[in-house]
Amino acid sequence: MDRSRRRFSAAAGALAVLPFSRALAAPVGGTAELGFAEIPDGTLAEQGLFALPGKLPLIKKTFRPPNFETPIQYFRTPITQNRAFFVRYHLAAIPEVSAKDWALSVGGDSAERELKLTLAQMKKEFKAAQVTAVCQCSGNRRGLFEPHVAGVEWGVGAMGNAVWKGVRLKDVLAKAGVKAGALEVVFDGADHAPLEKTPDFVKSLPLEVAMDENTLIAFEMNGQPLPHWNGFPARLVVPGWTGTYWVKQLASVRVVAQPEKNFWMATAYRLPRGKFKTPTFQSQLYSPNEPITTMVVNSLITSLKSGQQLRRGQPLVVNGIAWDSGSGIAKVEVSTNGADWREAKLGKDLGRFSFREFSFSMPTRESGSHVVMARATSKAGETQVNELIHNPAGYHHNVIQRIYVEVV
């Protein structure tokens, strides 16, 4: 059978004990609407819907560490609700951090002074700031790569859009003082590995990105405290940059004069240099590859799924979301025959880092097959690609989506 036309479901699996402090993820019966049919059969067979404590049923990718994907139905609104927001960790030991015990260490060889800031101090001593922004795992849609690449086989739901509120990182750095010659800002979280030899998950940003007014230390998500699984009590928010930099359960911030060379910067999350038209991370350009940085323009159809049948005379409604790294969405075009493109109507602009809804409708006067496609173009002039730009780690999948429907 043509893989692109398959219909599939994610069936519930057996109960499993999670190797972290929240004891169990309960299996849930039902179907997860994944939106694409190109995910390998083995991946589909292994995944299922499980409910972590405090979460709606999400698509389980791995238990150890916890990696859970958002089903497509929760992208039918521009803001992703907290209980449906995807979960992504690299290390399996995720402690319960209480708000009263949490404190952020700020220092480094390029900081004028060291600080220890409690949550109460952060909220009292710094001006509040917020931004609506997409957090997307760098490997979102990796499971759609062909030929196959290694890694968590994400479908389309390793992402979410939320209103993040906290304080500007640059204000915290200003209080610590930044010395001349500072190059990067390094971040570490409270999560850790069960085995000592596993590298701690540490990330860095160029100083100019850390000092951007939109880069936040966030305490709230959609008006509520951060969920445990999404970084409570504080996380880094780096609008436009892929989720690998959005460090959860933030514990320390260091300002340094030398490039950070830990595993997660020097080896992982890197791309062949020049493969994509994304900004380079200048201080990390010491090999034939370079770190992934910002997201690429993309879109997702949320109103249809492959194999769906429509009655003749029933309108063909194409709704979805589009996003990019922060220039904003200029237009979304829709095709129902693979050749002609018509512009969709854009929804409310919630900010340049946010999902942007789109909608399109056409009558169905005759029976037959349709291939429905949507392609987004950013205000920077970037457009989704027709063919996959392959890379070994499975990043930046923004191929124009194709959904096959029948009018009967």
Domain locations along the chain: 3-87, 103-291, 298-407
Q: Return d(Cα 254, Cα 113) in angstroms, integer.
A: 11
Q: Which residues pair with 160 in a beta bridge?
A: 135
Q: How far is CA 266 from CA 47, 90, 273, 281, in A?
A: 31, 16, 14, 12
Given the DSSP bridges, would you call strands 401-407 and 308-310 parallel, antiparallel or unpaired?
parallel
Domains 103-291 and 298-407 share a fold: no
Express each pLDDT in 298-317 by its tens digit: 999 999 988 899 999 999 99
Express each pLDDT in 276-301 by its tens digit: 999 999 999 998 999 999 999 999 99
pTM for the whole thing?
0.91
Helix intervals (H) in 69-191: 119-125, 169-176
Distance between alpha carbon 40 and the CA centroid of its chain, in Å?
21
Cα Rg of the chain, angstroms: 21
| Residue 89, pLDDT score | 97
Q: Which residues pair with 309 in a beta bridge?
A: 406
Q: Which residues pair with 236 in a beta bridge?
A: 217
Per-residue pLDDT, averaged over 203-223, amounts to 98
Express each pLDDT in 40-79 by its tens digit: 666 666 678 999 999 999 999 999 899 999 999 999 999 9
3-state helix vs strand vs coil in the chain, percent to 5: 10, 35, 50
The larger pLDDT score, comparing residue 35 to residue 133, is at 133
Q: Does the 103-291 domain belong in CATH 3.40.50.300?
A: no
**Side by side, which strands form the sheet with 49-51?**
16-17, 24-28, 49-51, 58-62, 67-69, 87-88
| Residue 43, pLDDT score | 65
Choices 2.40.50.140, 1.10.1060.10, 3.40.50.720, 2.60.40.650: CATH for 298-407:
2.60.40.650
Q: Return d(Cα 201, Cα 170) in angstroms, integer.
A: 22
| Residue 59, pLDDT score | 94
| Residue 46, pLDDT score | 65
Per-residue pLDDT, averaged over 391-397, amounts to 97
